[in-house]
A = this chain, B = another copy of it.
Amino acid sequence: MEKYNLIVGQSGGPTAVINCSLYGVIKQCLESEEIGTVYGMVNGIEGFLKGNVIDLKEEFRDPEKLELLKQTPAAFLGSCRYKLPPIDETEVYEEMFDKFNDLNIGAFLYIGGNDSMDTAGKLAAYGRRHGSDIRFLGVPKTIDNDLVGTDHTPGYGSAAKYIAATVRDISIDAGAYDLKSVTILEIMGRHAGWLCAASALARNEHEHNPMLIYLPETPFHMEQFVQNVKDALEKEKNVVVCVSEGIRDEEGRLICEYKGKAEVDSFGHKKLTGAAKLLEAAIMSEIPAVKCRSMEFSLTQRSSAVLASGRDKEEAEQVGRVAVRAAIAGESHQMVCMERAEGEEYKIDYVLKDVVEIGNKEKLIPSWWITKDGTDVTDDFIDYVKPLIEGECDIKYQDGLPLYVHRSRASM
C-alpha cells in the first residue's frame, strides 16, 4: 500500500496539555510506516482554508525540540473557532477536499472540544457521501470536562490541579492575619461546574477551605449565600468561597448580569466575568466587619506549564497516538474516548465513539455529586477527580523560566 499523508489541527480554547496530544500524533506518525508526511494546519481549518500549513516532520527534525513541545502550553499550531456549514452547502467542502487531494491526505485529525467534533463529523459525513476514503478522527481536548462519551477530557486534570493548588495557596495566604476574612474566587465554567468543583481538592486534614463551592448546576440564591457565609464565619475566621463564572439564579438569570448585560466578545460569547465582584459587594454590605476580597482565576488556569498534571499529560499524548493508530486501521467519523476501569486502581482504556454522539452536546456534573444544599461536592466526586491531578512534570528551564518551543512561519 502506498504511503499517505496525515494532517492535524487544533481548535477551540487552549489547554496546558493540548500540545501533548499534538506530540502524541507526531510521535505515532514517526513510528508508523504507513504515514508519509505529517502536516499541521495553522489556526485550524480556518487557517487551512487560507493555505496555512506546515510540515511537522520538518518542524521537529530536532528530537529535543519535539520533547519541549510537551511542556509548552497553549495551541502550538494556533487555534480557531470556525463552524462549518451544513454539508449540503458544498462550496467550502469542495475547496477543502481539493486541498486534501493536493496534499495527498489520507487522514485528518482534529484536536478540540465539542465544536471541533462537529467539524470532524461534518467532514467525515461529506467525505462519505462523496466517496472519499480520507479518515476523519477527533482527539478530545477541553479544560471544561464537558464532553459526553468520555470519562474526562485531556486538559481538565491540569486545570483542576492548578485550581486546587492555587486555592490552597490563596487560603494559606488569606489566613495569615488574625482576623475574619472572606475571599471569593471566580473559576471558569459557563454551564458545567467541573473546574470550580475541583477546588474541593485544596482541602486536607489541615486546610478547611474552600468552605463553600457554588456551581452553575444548582440555582444560586443571594440571600442564602450571605447566610452560608455568616454560618461559615461562625466556624472559621478564614473563609474561602469558590464560584463558577456561570452561576445563575432560579430563573436562569446569570449572577454576573445582575449589574447589567454581560459584554459579548468578538466570537459572540458573553464575557461571564464579575460574579465574584458582585458577591464581594454583597458581603461587604451585609457583613461589613469582615475583610472581603475577590479575584478571578482567568487565563492562568488553562495555561500553567508548571502545574500541569503528569497523568493528564500522559493521557493527552495517548489520545493523540490512539487517533493515529485508528486512522491507520481505517476508522473514521470517531472520537477517541477514555473509559475508566472499575475497581480501586486507576486505569484508562481508550475506545472510539461516533463523533455525532459527542459533537454539540454538554456534560454537566450529575446531581448526586453535589450536596443537597448546593454548597459542596460529594466524596464520590472527590474519588472521581483526585487521580486526574496526580503526577508532576520535570520542566526544563532557561533563564529562570520554563522553556517553550515556537512555531516557524507557515511555509506552504
Contact = CB atoms under 8 A, between A and B. Distances in A.
Best-buried of A176, A263, A402, A404 by chain B (most CB within 10 Å): A176
Q: How many copies does the complex hold?
A: 2
A373 interface: no
Contacts of A224: none
A300 B166 contact: yes
A341 interface: no
A259 to B, nearest CB: 12
Contacts of A345: none
A381 to B, nearest CB: 15
A94 interface: no
Contacts of A263: 284
Interface string A72-87: 1111001111000000
Contacts of A179: 266
A73 B300 contact: no
Best-buried of A79, A291, A306 by chain B (most CB within 10 Å): A306
B309 A172 contact: no
Contacts of A293: 271, 298-299
B74 A176 contact: yes
B169 A305 contact: yes
A397 interface: yes
Interface string A277-315: 000000010000111010110111011111101000000
Contact of A296 (B172, B265, B296, B386): B296
Nearest to A164: B401
Best-buried of A72, A168, A173, A293 by chain B (most CB within 10 Å): A173
A43 B164 contact: no
Interface residues of A, number: 68
Contacts of A390: 399-400
B299 A400 contact: no
A167 B82 CA distance: 27
A7 B165 CA distance: 32
B401 A201 contact: yes
Nearest to A73: B169
A47 interface: yes
A202 B284 CA distance: 36
A206 B291 CA distance: 42
B400 A161 contact: yes
A14 interface: yes
Given A43-B178, A177-B43, A391-B400, A303 B165 contact: no
Contact of A178 (B47, B284, B386): B47
Interface in A363-412: 386, 389-392, 395, 397, 399-402, 404, 406
A204 B293 CA distance: 34
A33 to B, nearest CB: 33
A79 B169 contact: no
A107 to B, nearest CB: 24
B299 A295 contact: yes
5 nearest A-B residue pairs (beta carbon):
A389-B400, A295-B298, A206-B406, A169-B303, A74-B172
